Structure 1
């Protein structure tokens, strides 16, 4: 029997931070667009670094939950892939359907024409050429699916090969992004520099699984300096100039890796205990990530049509209400939709993969340890 996976409150808390950063960035953009005297002026554009933190977290989790697990075992690989894809798709489909319904019911409500929507690509998370999915944040989930597929293939090989596989993958991404230009959408995805952030997270996972946790405080201090320098370089020139490509990986991927490594190492050493409310927000982070654009888009249109624009106070009031409402809707979506769906897919997975001759798992190797820290501990992430 394989050892149980240690719940990680710090990882779940970092998920909360990532989702809140993205929420703040989008709220700031809407504030700047719809209000005459926006208090944010788009400056929270740096909140999009939450996406980079999510990617690093994903890389860490893939390594951590498969450490010392049976590589090359078809049953384990199948269960792992099933857990990953059922974690992403069902709840995403629900919110994509809501967004599509909004496009149909209220033409122009979300600033796009119905004829321009890439519907099947949106629901499957297939890469889209020069456009966004129906639910805009779905572009990041396309990257996640790519990460999951690649890592699922790695599970067919011995774990000792993982560093070499990740190095080879990273080398191919670097070479492809430099020498291969004008690729179709699927090719551009494969060599996208953001893939390196997943590999950085995997590297953090390998360090922690090897027992190397002594550099936690140094890593966090370096991350703080790194992010301060990034903000100083970006903000004075143009608050809306968010870096792209390799500049983005350097600006936010590297410090995200340092933060993930440092926070988790400190928790494992008993030196860090995140507050419970942040862990709960981490439980809600996926629902918040998926629902917040719908909430913000609906709220701002009701707001500007029903309430006068009374300067900066209107902007500030909108931001407060928008953030609070988005979090509230996410909490309800987690309780009423996401958590029941996860339980149902887990039960189905038990029937599909356990079989009459397989013992009950304790716990399943595919499960994400971070979410065992919150709520009932039965949620797969």
Structure 2
């Protein structure tokens, strides 16, 4: 299952012939739909049949991005209850009765997309969508959904509740957001601050630094940092990862804000470097010597690098280049086999 999938996988569950007609309409209107039908349900062509609904749901629950149960909500609740983990990882679950009266967003309304799926199913079948999440009923933005849409990684997703409840009650949570990542959507709902002083108020912190913040402040990490890397041939991923973690910890930065890794082209084939990038799930970019030489006045030029590579810097120049000429936050950090530098983008896009 991949909740960010551009072609999400949907399971439609039916247990009676009456539900088969609704399943057929859903399958004909959406892509990547699999109908799971009970033996007596007379499912549509291509349906997968099961003997036990509970057993089939347990087997396939994590294999789909969304589940649509064409049956009583109570039955669906009993099927999925033992399988639920948290709203941050659970697939969307929607129920629709066999008369197509109501399409109910049951589980993972925001992050899993069940609210949106309920509306889609309602449009297809003529049902009335039922959305019960508090922010939707109150007409305030869903902060967790906005964060995901903007590629922000939450350090403490449990703080979403404090922020949402503040907005629902008419308060304006404080928002420290130097890149204005959420400014357009949350501008009227929050009070912007220019320094991260929250006191005891609920708030939202959108930045790459790691200050101590109250529990009711939602910490969101933008992809705002480029990491330049230099290494000796044959350096393993463990050494490289340790160098990155150490540099970030020493300078109070979050590795969740890493946007990409960058180095000189000649080093991109190094297995350790590729493995390190995979560990952080971030892309690796290689720049030619000519491109790196465009970066002038690096903080710590190296005569040794210039002698062997023909340029005065690899890691710092690569970081600056990848950050679109952004500011160096961490100048070259050197170990026996690695060098690491970090630059911050001036703007996000």
Same fold? TM cut 0.5: no
- Bigger helix share: 1
Q: Which has the larger radius of gyration?
A: 2
Q: TM-score range by the shorter chain?
A: under 0.3
TM-score, normalised to structure 2's length?
A: 0.22
TM-score, normalised to structure 1's length?
A: 0.21
- Bigger strand share: 2
